[in-house]
Amino acid sequence: MHISLIVAVTENGVIGKDNKLLWALPSDMQRFVKLTMGKPIIMGRKTFQSIGKPLKGRDNIVITADQSFQAKDAFVVNSVEQALTKAKECAQKREVEEIMVIGGEQIYQQTLELASSVCLSLVHTHLKGDAFFPALDETIWQEVSRELFSADEKHNYDYSYIVYTRA
């Protein structure tokens, strides 16, 4: 079973501020949908609440320390270990080999060492934020592909889509 992290991050490591994305990249959002569709997705409670609803066509697994938190049409668990157990069950039912981790900061920190790949959209700017993605250790992560996209009327920043796998 493969665990992949999928993230959009600025050059200075920011993934958001006040529980929101700081950029608009519709083609990157379309790639996110394509890469996660039909797979179990793991996220933290804040990420789930920022999205505002379960993402259709995927098994939504929400990690929270809040024992009373409930989410309609999502699985709520209290640890990364529980999330991975539930995600593996869901993946087997769907007959898929990949689990996607979609954020936020704490969940990325807790799952990076378990991941076999990172699908990273590098937003070519520096912004102030309050949520960050951990730096990738170049001795562990190897870049296997990179594609550059230019800003235009729909995309407010240049960005690169980069895939990393464990070296």
For residues 71-90, average pLDDT: 97
User: Which pLDDT tens digit goes with each residue over 145-165?
Assistant: 999 999 999 999 999 999 999
DSSP codes of every residue in the chain: -EEEEEEEEETT-EEEBTTB-S---HHHHHHHHHHHTTSEEEEEHHHHHHH-SPPTTSEEEEE-S-TT---TTSEEESSHHHHHHHHHHHHHHHT-SEEEEEE-HHHHHHHGGG-SEEEEEEESS----SEEPPPPPTTTEEEEEEEEE---SS-SS-EEEEEEEE-
| Residue 127: per-residue pLDDT | 98
Q: Which is nearest to 151 in space by CA: 24, 56, 58?
A: 24
**Residues 121, 23 contacting (CB under 8 angstroms):** no
Strands 131-132 and 117-123: what pairing? Answer: unpaired
The superfamily in CATH containing domain 2-166 is Dihydrofolate Reductase, subunit A (3.40.430.10)
Give pTM, 2 decimals. Answer: 0.97
Mean pLDDT of 37-62: 97
Q: What is the pLDDT of residue 6?
A: 98
Q: What is the pLDDT of residues 14-39, one digit of tens each?
A: 999 999 999 999 999 999 999 999 99
Q: Would the pLDDT of 54 be above 90? A: yes
Alpha-carbon gap, residue 115 to 69, rounded angstroms: 27
Share of the chain above pLDDT 90, in %: 99
Name the pLDDT band for 167 (thresholds 50, 70, 90). confident
- Flag whether pLDDT at 142 surpasses 90: yes
Structural domain spans, the chain: 2-166
